[in-house]
Structure 1
């Protein structure tokens, strides 16, 4: 929400920032001789300097920490305290001789000397990688800052910006370390305890405390989970690929380092207590998803001690000027009492992102995340039940407690805690939120992102369903609501009312849920709906694709029917990753299109005919999502997806005359979907679905397959199939999409500058109907001579197939895709002529 909100805001005047200077002399503690070219750096920062030939140094920084560290080859590292509030001070340091020596490095003729170091690093990965640990836990302090940047003079003429300028004084400006004017939008601090266990892998994070000041951000709840803990900064560079913004970047120390990077062994230097090789790396092709930076590798253990990486504007990414990631790692020892090294864990991580809109001169968003880990315990796992809740905010997560934060600053955050500039940032945010124009922008941003407008304990919406125009209802208007946690933390109410100007009919829906448990996600609910639906396009059949469902209400409303549905359901998650649902319900089918079926198909044409259906049923469903991550948003649970594991859904439905229905039947459905990271080859997603019913039923109670004859491209549908063109009583369908993420286009001169990306898909459907089910359908004309709608049947030995290919990321939002229908090319049902080819488009925002 912040990304689009900030495109409406800007800053005014400048203000000079304090510059701190530390000078001094570095000498040998025994001889008193000056030490030239010694490294002098701020502890916890990247600011530093080298001594000159006479051992003197001058260190200039815009922010000081509480100490400096001095190192030089052959000497022990020395740390000296400094006053972070003094603008000018002199500190002399004497270094003691050290006994460290480097391992011998053998360089083969014609070989890059950095390669030998990297080979040793990969060889020793099993010793140094954190994945070797059976368990670990630590306290984390996270500071997040987000600000608006790159404000042009033209943008300052915007009416909204003018109002902000009138409300903000010159003293409210913030200048970053690069001299750019920025307007802060968010400043947060968070403390959490993070737990990890291997074999099987489990994670848990307890958010202990947060304090957040921001535009369009609440102080607790979802914000504390998104901004607290290690959600944003937990990259492991020992992995072959590093996921960032939904893309996979090749790690400079992964198995494929030689294929992606050029390396240079620059120097040996001291990092903390470790003498390290400094290796610089650059991508072989700037357009590839790869880093620029430096890595420091311990000369004895060949472990990664420190790494600085940068993603530049040349990479095939949208809305990114630059991203930097810096990590410092330290050795750990077994908490059972052993003094041997157990592995390396990150103790300090910094992530900086400089994002932009469309165009080089557009407004930007700058984010800075700082993380510090301490109080580390390794190889001391907890029972499996302990890890069931992955992110657990404390009940007092956002309550004010200044004494607590003073303690955090002394014991955990150190110099990374809020300084004077951070305090000023929070004051500017408070003043900014009081500007009426910003309050309005907050409300607009909230509606744009969530689809709802919050009014106390009620959310009004969602806006995609507000209007529709179709051939049955004319202009359809709908208003809806849901309650939020301010209304109740247990009771959840939802409802809507719709009206069509052409059919002059009211439609409605309502639902009442009671939330028994958040940890095991246990809900009891009742819902009722009386509305116009479309055959094959109910929310259940399209897998929750709400945008497609909303768009399906526009235009010619083929396959429409009136439905009155009532359900009682119970959901619970007894074990993490397994959600069980039981449902009892009934529904009606009253078609608005010419259709009838035989009530006694064994009589053939002598059978009575009927159009409407009443169905009563019960069902049980199991959803298996191993390693799925969730965030709690009030009374809703938002999934963050699974990691390298499919999501499986199995449902059994039984139709029962004993419940008042017209048919006894059995139905089994299966659904599996997954996103596969294929490294350099891009990402592949698949959706596999299957269904089977051995019962004899009218076509609407079987499986109408989802076609999409509209010009809009919709994934996980058959884009060259007509609505309800085919119906089956047993089927298997697969939808596969692959995004090459610039793999091919990056290597074509001229095209690679456009940041286009190749996409491809294949969709296949195997289905059939028994003769008994085919005999239920009637082809007799309806009263008045109207020809009834015909439902097609697939040949069980001949799958329906489509293939597609196209270009994604045109103007950063547009996707054009060619779709070919490979078979079943004769005229479709009801005499609709078929075209085997179509060019479709869609729009989406992605990095």
Structure 2
């Protein structure tokens, strides 16, 4: 959720309090009329009459008359009947009653012959043709394409309970809103808008190699707790939220993978019904209805319209209901309208189908049936399509680029956009009313206070002009070395400077009575190539094996590690100078020069001259001077700019590789000359219907002779909290290696098994499993560095264990995720090295651990 930190402040209102107001009685709109045959004038009985874009409709009676009642109208109705061309007619969405008569024209397009075999569903033949013709119709066949895009996003609070209405804080907010400040959705739920945005962008795509770029040209946003148009334009103004391709086997939504009704495995997931043929624009289409075989699976309910000539997907409407094993979602709808593209460079003319209109609607909810809801609607319209005219690869190096005037007000510009790009999807009267309500809400003192609290809880920082104070998860800690540790920190943002970035913190322990501090200064040369020069220094207490490098940026685990018994603690003074740049998109290079001290406060000493054996002088402190180079390869990575911070949006399950080489030098004042190389690779994989697997592979090697703190202390986790990518049944620094390969594999079966067990499936539990393995060893020379002589005072030193190179350390785990939607309980078994561990610590091979997380 990190990429959405600022926008998630909006969702904080779901937890902090509910914003409601009393409204007048609900208005019912009525549309009546007569449907007749255009040639004969005879009435058309049992014709379908529906509001376009709404799930509201009716049928004509035997005299061709209809009465359609709705709590809210769309801008048009659609009338269809077997043998006639579907016809649409604009209506006045503000009139309470109106009469609309239509004359239907008989359809004259002949259909391809469909052979139906005995016992076979006639829809199967159509679906097989869809998959066969995918290579012709799928947008992925295009060498390149570019479009002008208009995106409208609306977010509102909904589903307010009577208990919420009695909240004293809410009553004060109600007083600031009039009874006319009322907006309802198509299901009659009252909505309180908290964000309305419009954006215009130009989108570029190129295949082989795949590259994307999006230039956000203009954005206007009106929202509660949203004051950063630059970040919001990248999150809401591009195709990040609505880029689903139903020709793919699985559709990623909210971090889950939904089986596509026209994917390769359509028959395993869905029941189909070939309903009718109908006219969609200029295309005569088969209408195929689909329903899930098991409602608990991650699948859709809906309809698809398939062109009868090309077997291309013309239109699709999909719904996710309450039965799906998905948290916090009351309902989710995706609608797409597609059109064939015209390739002027190709003699055949057509070259694949692209979506011209996409609508996504999601109704989210908290925990409990009476919890407040959140309604989000995103609409995208594409036009001015250009295909198969790729740009040079360097053109795509910046994947998402906001214009310098992206947030500059320009009413004339938006008036033109609404008449061209936006069309019927431009801001309606309800949207205009929503903008007025948001202005009123932002003026309420209680809302301003909630904005500030939400910002702190979601981002960890409190914004004070050009400086952000925090992060607040690091504010307090209690441990056996420092006692009560308090810390205050800050960082500058782009209001302070768009090039200079400063960070710092000061901490104090009540038990050791020592101040700790850290500071960093960066200069950002280029955002496009993410080029910066920086210097940082710190004097703090650290724990062996839990440096940010070794834990891979797991900041929560790093913060929690400062609590409790602080084993393996050492004082460290670190100074670093670094330079970072991304010369080619997806390849981030970092060069670093630095020094650090390791002054253990646990009983430890090593032989400074190991060749002398027991006659060697003993030391405990280490001074390390080094330089390093690192390459991070992240193919297809997406990211956005948040002021002076660059936030990754992930890599679409492509692997992320990191390689680092470090050189320690006595010539720079260090105690040791050494070489060290480390490697990390991580990826998330979809394993068909079996669920999703993630892995982290890490390896390290140093051929040098060094004391244990400069080798590779493996990350144990003896706490009761389950932490991924650690060894949950290993003690802290139980094993140290000078060469190792570690793999952490976690598999989430989603609802694959529990969805099929009566009674259990209603709980929405999910099965999870993990395997963690470590191969490592320590050379004889490095083992000889360790000393077993008692320290002054007779205390025995800490002993670091070494792994047998022929015998891996292994753990397996299994458990239940999604208990009460947030809790995970997992059993962990340690399979090897079951004897008494180093320092005479007994080994318990089994443990139950728990964690909490927010997942859809």
Scaled by the length of structure 1, the TM-score of the pair is 0.97
2:411 pairs, out of 382, 399, 402, with 402
Cα 1:380–1:84 change in 2 (3 A) is farther
Secondary structure of the corresponding residue to residue 170 of structure 1 = coil
Contact kept? 1:219, 1:398, Cα under 8 Å? no
- 1:697-708 to structure 2, matched below 5 A, reads 697-708=706-717
Over 3 Å counting, the alpha-carbon distance change for 1:126 and 1:181 in structure 2 is: same
Contact in 1 for aligned 2:14/2:366 (Cα 8 Å): no
What is the DSSP-based 3-state SS (H/G/I as helix, E as strand, rest coil) of the residue aligned with 2:389?
Answer: coil
Aligned to 2:341, which of 332, 354, 367?
A: 332
Q: Check 1:232–1:439 CA distance in 2 against 1; reply closer, same or farther (3 A cut).
A: same
Q: Which range moves more in the overlay, 809-818 or 527-536?
A: 809-818
Is 2:116 aligned against 1:107? Answer: yes
Moved more, 520-529 or 61-70: 61-70
For 1:667 and 1:437, locate their aligned partners in 2 and report how far apart those are by CA, in whole Å. 55
Name the structure 2 match of 1:461.
470
Match of 1:252 in 2: 261
More displaced stretch, 43-52 vs 754-763: 43-52
What residue is the counterpart of 2:238 in the other structure? 229
1:589 paired residue number: 598
2:422 alignment partner, one of 385, 388, 413:
413
Change (3 A) 1:320 1:157: same
Contact 1:313 1:320 (8 Å CA) reproduced: yes
Match of 1:285 in 2: 294
Matched, 1:3 2:11: yes
Secondary structure at 1:221 match in 2: helix
Name the SS of the counterpart of 2:289 in structure 1.
strand
Q: Residue 359 of structure 2 is aligned with which of 350, 357, 372?
A: 350
Kept in 2: contact 1:74–1:100 (CA 8 A): no
1:173 deviates by: 2.5
Is the Cα contact below 8 Å between 1:331 and 1:345 reproduced in 2? Answer: yes
Confirm or deny: 8 A CA contact 2:697 2:742 kept in the other structure.
yes
Note if 1:737 corresponds to 2:746. Answer: yes
Is the Cα contact below 8 Å between 1:472 and 1:503 reproduced in 2? yes
Which residue does the alignment assign to 2:584? 575
1:296 pairs with 2:305: yes
1:126 aligned to 127, 135, 141, which one? 135
| Residues 84, 363 of structure 1: alpha-carbon distance in 2 compared, 3 angstrom cutoff | closer
**Residue 69 of structure 1: how far off its partner (Å):** 5.7
Q: Distance in 2 between matches of 1:552 and 1:589?
A: 18
Residues 753 and 13 of structure 1, relative CA distance in 2, 3 Å threshold:
same
Whole-angstrom CA distance in 2 between matches of 1:226 and 1:583: 33
Contact 1:212–1:219 (8 Å) recurs in 2? no
**How much has 1:236 moved relative to structure 2?**
0.9
Q: Tell whether the 8 Å contact from 2:492 to 2:502 is kept in structure 1 after alignment.
A: yes
Residue 373 and residue 597 in structure 1: after superposition, are their counterparts in 2 closer, same or farther (change >3 A)?
same
From 308, 316, 335, give the equivalent of 1:307. 316
Contact conserved, 1:335 with 1:380, CA < 8 A, in 2?
no
CA distance in 2 between counterparts of 1:142 and 1:62 reads: 26
**Counterpart in 1 of 2:195?**
186
The runs of 5 or more residues in structure 1 that have no matched partner are none
**Is 1:746 aligned to 2:758, yes or no?**
no
The aligned residue for residue 672 of structure 1 is 681
Residue 636 of structure 1: how far off its partner (Å): 0.4
How many pairs does the alignment contain? 847
Q: Residues 520-566 of structure 1, C-alpha deviation per residue, up to 9 Å, x if partnerless?
A: 00010000000000010111111111000001111111010010000
Alpha-carbon distance between aligned partners in 1 of 2:88 and 2:561, rounded to the nearest angstrom: 67
Distance 1:615 1:275, change over 3 A: same
**Counterpart among 823, 827, 831 of residue 818 in structure 1:** 827
CA contact (8 A) 1:734 1:763 kept: yes
Q: Which string of whole-angstrom CA distances, capped at 9 and with x for unpartnered residues, describes residues 55-105 of structure 1?
A: 455555666666666555555565666666655555554555553011121
- Is the 1:14–1:174 Cα contact (8 Å) retained in structure 2? no
CA–CA distance in structure 2, aligned partners of residues 53 and 237 of structure 1: 38
Question: Helix, strand or coil: the match of 1:528?
Answer: strand
Once structures 1 and 2 are overlaid, which stretch shifts more, 426-435 or 296-305?
A: 296-305
The structure-2 alpha-carbon separation of the partners of 1:29 and 1:181, relative to structure 1 and needing over 3 Å to count, comes to closer
Say which of 498, 510, 518 aligns to 1:489: 498
Asked whether the equivalents of residues 44 and 415 of structure 1 are also in contact (C-alpha less than 8 Å), the reply is no
Report if aligned partners of 1:36, 1:54 keep a CA contact under 8 Å in 2.
yes
Q: Does 1:528 align with 2:555?
A: no
Tell whether the 8 Å contact from 2:85 to 2:278 is kept in structure 1 after alignment. Answer: no
| 1:549 matched residue in structure 2 | 558
Q: What is the CA distance between 1:26 and its match in structure 2?
A: 4.6
CA contact (8 A) 1:77 1:273 kept: no
SS at match of 1:750: coil
1:556-586 Cα shifts (integer Å, max 9, x gaps): 1101001000000000000000000000000
RMSD: 1.9
Alpha-carbon distance in 2 for matches of 1:582, 1:449: 32
CA apart distance, 1:399: 1.0
Q: In the TM superposition, what is the alpha-carbon distance from 1:441 to its structure 2 partner?
A: 0.9
Displacement of 1:176 after TM fit?
2.1
* Residues 62 and 230 of structure 1: CA distance in aligned 2, closer, same or farther (over 3 Å): farther
Equivalent residues in 2 for 1:400-479, closer than 5 Å: 400-479=409-488
CA contact (8 A) 1:262 1:283 kept: yes
Partner residue of 2:4?
Answer: none
1:717 and 1:57 map into 2 onto residues whose CA distance is 65
**Hey, what does 2:399 align to over in structure 1?**
390
Distance 1:76 1:809, change over 3 A: closer
1:389: how far off? 1.1
Correspondent of 2:608 among 599, 609, 626 = 599
Contact 1:14 1:175 in 2 (8 A): no
**SS in structure 2 of the partner of residue 344 of structure 1:** strand
Q: Indicate the SS of the match to 2:672.
A: coil
Contact 1:103 1:299 in 2 (8 A): yes
Q: Counterpart in 2 of 1:655?
A: 664
Once the two structures are superposed, what CA deviation does each residue of 1:22-52 show, in whole Å capped at 9, x if it has no partner? 5555545544444445555666766666554
Which region of structure 1 is more displaced relative to structure 2, 829-838 or 6-15?
6-15
Contact 1:15 1:174 in 2 (8 A): no
State which drifts further: 162-171 or 39-48. 39-48
* Deviation, structure 1 residue 454: 0.5
Higher mean C-alpha deviation, range 180-189 or range 10-19:
10-19
Query: Residue 815 of structure 2 is aligned with which of 806, 811, 824?
Result: 806
Partner Cα distance (1:438, 1:453) in 2: 16
